[in-house]
Structure 1
């Protein structure tokens, strides 16, 4: 998969300029759309996988494009086009956000409470728009939050998203959906993801931004231990790590991280309203 740098090559009417980032499935390039000259981010998926895996990847890619197309929100990057190039690459062209990812920022240092809340509210607003249309993201994490040059945040990567009335899984049978450090207990247990599953992801995200790390950790490759923590272990109160955090904000994060989905906020908008009502700022 992507053995060589594709910079300088042409994918349909997009000229690849330079590689921006690489994930588990896809790679993102800065590209120029011809003939307009518009600079875009081009997300590429190599289709040289085996038959069943290839079909799943293409399904997921198309689902992401279709979902983003129907979502119009200031904190969701719009797409300019998508397709399959010479049966070799699937691609999605979207607006280029030049500020890197939230994950890259968090590698350097935690965020202030004010900045974490600012980013949280933008991400929650985008997620709330998705929830209003019956869309569950299922993979909220820092690398799926992009920043522009003026530090606005954008929720990206709807490749694992699903609809509340569409229960078919987009991954192989018994495969874990989501990212281990951010996945909700019910998703680990192969139960249906709901808006409250995304709320759990928002809780992990907010904790990570302020504390500098997710609430649950594992050493080496012991992912099973991490998943058990999500299911059984209470999350550490945020103030034990960051004493300057308001008590009310700590309570919001702990509610979002409740093991029982019914104990969490109903959706991203309800959690955002609780944060907006905090006596800080």
Structure 2
């Protein structure tokens, strides 16, 4: 450990420093009982403000209550010698900033987005905002699973933290929502906005808005339109626009909604199993080779042509079903079929609000091209139908 920094934490020993930023330093360390390697973050507030230390302790206790594979596991936290410490699991797969610099695929980007949306869903349902979503706070296990870390400026909704109010840590301007940049009250939709900024950075390899100073960046988040993606990524523009809407009411309203939408995109991005059929040679072909008369050849040719045409007609009729079967699990197909049946029943009984809700679920969560759901949704709610079709990846 650095000799210039010495702190005795009961049941822990500190090793070498592996990172620092602002008021925080991170060390490799070891928990003595139970014995395991850990990372220990130590925060020393300016002036050793006891109120800030108290708030940090509360926020550390909150994160320690979380139990989710995409949120860092906290083993212990506390205040000692006018320092706040937090002992957590070691994540050996690097951070998202490094991955973006080395380049990531669209499939990797959306898997990371889903991991982070699930992490936020877990935290938000427990009344906690993160407030500092950025690539440096998204780390990875060695197997590639993304983990959200550093809830250092997190706070429970509807509570006031001295730590955040005094501006000791104000977050990163590149990832601030417009309402946060304006100093307004925020909710979980602000975290969702920041995650949208991260998605843009993963897709494009650069920040959505940049500038020479904090004011210029904040101004862009409040006033500048969302940049257009290049043609090869334009299919993600609708999603990005919704994530980065200036008005929180125009974004996903909950992380749960975002999780459902990301799952739909991932079903399209994952490689589809090859469904090409191989056919055994037709008996007529073998016979054709043994005969010199052209008549069998002509007859056989006609049979082949008719067979191919019939097969093409059948495949066109079944195309939607086949595509759905390759992208949905058997359980999802059954669930979708049940919802279609229930929607049809509600429609026939005149319960149009329930029918609309069920058809919307089918189109948004299962198959945005299902013909029955599309036709009925168009009849029930043309505006919503147009929105769904616009976001459907053609």
* TM-score (ref. length: structure 1): 0.87
2:70 partner SS? coil
Deviations 1:40-95 (A, max 9, x none): 01111125x315xx23541342133122122211111121111223x143211111
Measured in 1, the distance between the counterparts of 2:250 and 2:3 equals 48
Assess if the C-alpha contact under 8 Å between 2:56 and 2:163 holds in 1. Answer: no
- Report which of the two has the higher share of strand: 1
Assess if the C-alpha contact under 8 Å between 1:174 and 1:190 holds in 2. Answer: no
1:159 partner SS? coil
> What's the C-alpha RMSD, in Å, of the aligned pairs?
2.3
Assess if the C-alpha contact under 8 Å between 2:55 and 2:162 holds in 1. Answer: no
Structural mapping, 1:12-31, within 5 Å: 12-31=10-29
- 2:327 paired residue number: none
Assess if the C-alpha contact under 8 Å between 1:60 and 1:159 holds in 2. Answer: no
Measured in 1, the distance between the counterparts of 2:64 and 2:169 equals 26
Assess if the C-alpha contact under 8 Å between 1:18 and 1:30 holds in 2. Answer: yes
Deviations 1:166-185 (A, max 9, x none): 24564245788321000000
Assess if the C-alpha contact under 8 Å between 1:81 and 1:94 holds in 2. Answer: yes
Q: Which runs of 4+ in 1 moved over 3 A?
A: 2-7, 167-170, 172-177
Measured in 2, the distance between the counterparts of 1:101 and 1:61 equals 24
Distance change >3 Å, CA 165–CA 18, structure 1 → 2: same
Where structure 1 has 5 or more consecutive residues not aligned to the other structure, the ranges are none
- 2:93 paired residue number: 99
Assess if the C-alpha contact under 8 Å between 2:43 and 2:85 holds in 1. Answer: yes
- Report which of the two has the higher share of helix: 2
Structural mapping, 1:60-79, within 5 Å: 60-79=55-74
- 2:220 paired residue number: 229
Measured in 2, the distance between the counterparts of 1:250 and 1:71 equals 33
Match of 1:183 among 176, 181, 185: 176
Assess if the C-alpha contact under 8 Å between 1:109 and 1:212 holds in 2. Answer: no
Distance change >3 Å, CA 3–CA 181, structure 1 → 2: farther
Select the structure of larger CA radius of gyration: 2
Assess if the C-alpha contact under 8 Å between 2:61 and 2:77 holds in 1. Answer: no
